[in-house]
């Protein structure tokens, strides 16, 4: 399953439409549960009901994990973080305790306000997972010119070069057949990533380049959430999130702020006035 970004309604639809069997099937979630829509708390509660969950760490998840560990949010709750804070503030009855301040937000949320089960969830997310078929699951990517294991932790949830290089390989292969295998030191059967929304290529469907499948289909913006069967490659998707939440609800009930662009090159998210 691709990046969720707080879209609990989309998560429910994917689980229902795929006929996911909670006590039988394995769900590998590729990270970025946090930041985007205001239902991060609900998303984590839903995922905690799945016994066979493998949760991969995303860069947005790590920002929340840093707050849990240190009481300091690295981005001042920007880049979708305000909605994450609000989702937990609502649970403790402090939904109005979030104010725009300078280049970020001030909030009454404390790490202790986040349920212990949720704290453990974000602490225990894995940097990657490799299954018995030698398929690799990772949020962002990795340095393909080095051995896979032992790279800096942030590489696994921030890298975009792997996907970019695979796209370049595909484009070159279309014009010059027989170029050969996509070169990388780690030899995986297939690789499944999120992190870089396919909406950047004007599609809300998964994309494939070389042996890499990108499942971030824009659930944090105006696209859909996707769940894929690894063996058959059949996909099930949510409705477009703008239909589930309304175009002006990407940061519903957030404090007034000017629109901003995400520095990690996700599609633009906007905090709108008057919501």
Could you report the per-residue pLDDT of 147-173, keeping only the tens digit for each? Answer: 999 999 999 999 999 999 999 998 877
Residue 56 CB partners (closer than 8 Å, separation 6+): 28, 29, 30, 31, 125, 126, 127, 128, 129, 137, 138, 139
- Give the residue from 187, 176, 112 showing the smallest Cα distance to 144: 187
Q: Does a structural domain hold residue 19?
A: yes
Q: How many domains is the chain built from?
A: 1
Residue 182 lies in a domain: no
Distance of alpha carbon 100 from its chain centroid, rounded?
24
Q: Do 74 and 45 meet the contact criterion of CB atoms below 8 Å apart?
A: no
Predicted confidence (pLDDT) at residue 254 exceeds the cutoff of 50: no
User: Is 49 part of any domain?
Assistant: yes
Determine, yes or no, domain membership for 21.
Answer: yes
pLDDT of residue 178: 61
Q: Is residue 225 part of a domain?
A: yes
Instruction: Give the pLDDT score at 103.
Output: 84
**Where residue 117 sits, what CATH number does that domain have?**
3.60.21.10
Q: What distance in Å separates the CA atoms of residue 96 and residue 90, rounded to the nearest whole number?
A: 8
- pLDDT level of residue 177 (50, 70, 90 thresholds): low
Domain that includes residue 42, residue range: 8-140+190-249
> Is residue 211 in a domain?
yes
Evaluate whether residue 163 is within a structural domain. Answer: no
**Lowest-confidence region among 70-79, 149-158, 186-195, 262-271:** 262-271
Indicate the burial class of 151 (C-beta count within 10 angstroms; 0-12, 13-18, 19 or more): middle
Handedness of CA 46, 90, 34, 269 (dihedral sign): positive
Is position 185 within any domain? no
More confident residue, 15 or 250: 15
Q: What are the phi and psi torsion angles at 3 (to 5°)?
A: -60, 130
């Amino acid at each position: 399953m691709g990046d969720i970004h707080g879209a609990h309604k989309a998560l429910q639809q994917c689980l229902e439409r795929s006929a996911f069997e909670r006590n039988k099937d394995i769900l590998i979630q590729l990270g970025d549960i946090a930041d985007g829509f205001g239902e991060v708390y609900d998303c984590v509660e839903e995922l905690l009901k799945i016994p066979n969950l493998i949760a991969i760490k995303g860069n947005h998840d790590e920002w929340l994990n840093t707050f849990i560990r240190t009481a300091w949010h690295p981005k001042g709750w920007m880049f979708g973080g305000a909605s994450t804070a609000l989702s937990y503030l609502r649970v403790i009855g402090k939904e109005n305790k979030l104010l725009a301040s300078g280049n970020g937000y001030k909030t009454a949320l404390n790490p202790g306000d986040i349920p212990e089960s949720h704290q453990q969830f974000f602490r225990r997310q894995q940097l990657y997972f490799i299954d018995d078929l030698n398929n690799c699951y990772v949020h962002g990517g990795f340095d393909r010119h080095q051995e896979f294991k032992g790279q800096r932790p942030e590489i696994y949830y921030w890298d975009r070069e792997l996907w970019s290089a695979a796209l370049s390989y595909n484009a070159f292969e279309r014009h010059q057949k027989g170029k050969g295998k996509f070169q990388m030191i780690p030899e995986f059967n297939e690789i499944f990533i999120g992190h870089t929304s396919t909406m950047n290529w004007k599609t809300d469907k998964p994309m494939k380049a070389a042996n890499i499948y990108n499942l971030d289909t824009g659930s944090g913006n105006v696209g859909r959430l996707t769940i894929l069967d690894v063996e058959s490659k059949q996909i099930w998707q949510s409705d477009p999130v703008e239909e589930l939440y309304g175009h002006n609800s990407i940061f519903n009930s957030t404090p007034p702020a000017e629109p901003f662009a995400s520095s990690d090159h996700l599609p633009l998210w906007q905090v709108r006035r008057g919501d």
